[in-house]
């Protein structure tokens, strides 16, 4: 089971986030709650939710009922809620049943714009001790730079759609140069799982194509947040410590993005 973590900038220094988390989109109601509990039982310690997912209550209840005190929760501000940041911070804190949000992101650039004024409100929430780490989702490198130039604070994380077929070396390196941790959502939708190079590598290691995709993320230092409500798939997706991809295999998978 994956136990690797990566540090992200936080109010009190650094916040260690697991390199394999669970995307929770669609996990709602009692069925969603049960899926979240199974994920926690399988060892997941990073859950990714958002105001838009309408399941912060289920996520908060699952974590509270688990009795675990080491689970990191990410939530996100909808772009249409720009201008009401503190109200929705309060709402997320209440629904998630926590005193401090671990990681709060701007879900999409509001109106396609970087919006430093919105970013300033997340930074203010962090300074007030309501949030440990703040970041964005679906932002370009230029938009990250705009936020930094306007506020002096660079997002700790940028969550984007990511996978081998979307690999962009310059984009990844640009985040590293800025000290921004890249986090990838929809890792399986972003890459055809029947691609011969992927299935060949999976056979060589005796694992699934999905496990190869997650291991590829981990070895690039990119947080992967695959989504599944099935306990068996949840466990398999997280079980990526028992093998390593060679430099040649990593390069071959990177090539799917060309």
Return d(Cα 21, Cα 238) in angstroms, integer: 8
Give the alpha-carbon dihedral of 54, 55, 57, 63, to 10 degrees.
-160
Q: CB atoms < 10 A from the CB of 91, how many?
A: 15
Take residue 190 and report the two structure tokens written for it.
């972003």
Take residue 121 and report the two structure tokens written for it.
């409100």
CA 90 to chain centre: 21
Instruction: Give the CA count within 13 Å in the CB-facing half-sphere of 233.
Output: 13
Long-range pairs for 85-88: beta carbons < 8 A, 24 or more residues apart:
85/118, 85/121, 85/122, 85/125, 86/121, 86/124, 86/125, 88/51
Q: Is 53 a catalytic residue?
A: yes
Give the active site residue among 25, 33, 44, 53.
53
DSSP result, 114-178 = --HHHHHHHHHHHHTTSEEEEEEES--HHHHHHHHHHHS---SEEEEE--GGG--HHHHHHHHHH
Take residue 219 and report the two structure tokens written for it.
């070895």
Return d(Cα 45, Cα 19) in angstroms, integer: 10
Would you please indicate which residues are annotated as catalytic (active-site) residues? 53
């Amino acid at each position: 089971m994956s136990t690797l973590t990566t540090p992200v900038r936080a109010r009190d220094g650094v916040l260690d986030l697991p390199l394999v988390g669970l995307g929770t989109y669609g996990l709602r109601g009692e069925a969603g709650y049960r899926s979240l509990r199974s994920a926690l039982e399988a060892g997941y310690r990073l859950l990714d939710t958002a105001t838009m997912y309408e399941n912060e209550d289920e996520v908060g209840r699952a974590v509270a009922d688990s009795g675990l005190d080491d689970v990191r929760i990410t939530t996100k501000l909808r772009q249409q809620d720009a201008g009401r940041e503190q109200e929705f911070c309060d709402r997320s804190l209440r629904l998630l049943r926590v005193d401090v949000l671990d990681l709060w992101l701007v879900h999409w650039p509001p109106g396609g714009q970087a919006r430093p004024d919105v970013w300033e409100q997340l930074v203010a929430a962090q300074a007030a001790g309501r949030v440990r780490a703040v970041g964005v989702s679906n932002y370009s490198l230029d938009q990250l730079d705009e936020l930094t130039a306007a506020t002096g604070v660079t997002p700790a994380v940028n969550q984007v759609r990511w996978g081998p077929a979307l690999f962009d070396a310059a984009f990844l390196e640009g985040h590293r140069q800025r000290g921004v941790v890249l986090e990838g959502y929809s890792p399986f939708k972003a890459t055809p799982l029947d691609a011969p190079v992927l299935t060949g590598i999976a056979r060589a290691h005796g694992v699934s194509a999905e496990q190869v995709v997650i291991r590829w993320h981990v070895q690039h230092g990119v947080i992967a947040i695959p989504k599944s409500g099935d306990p068996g798939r949840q466990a398999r997706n997280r079980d990526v410590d028992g093998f390593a991809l060679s430099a040649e295999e990593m390069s071959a998978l990177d090539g799917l993005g060309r």
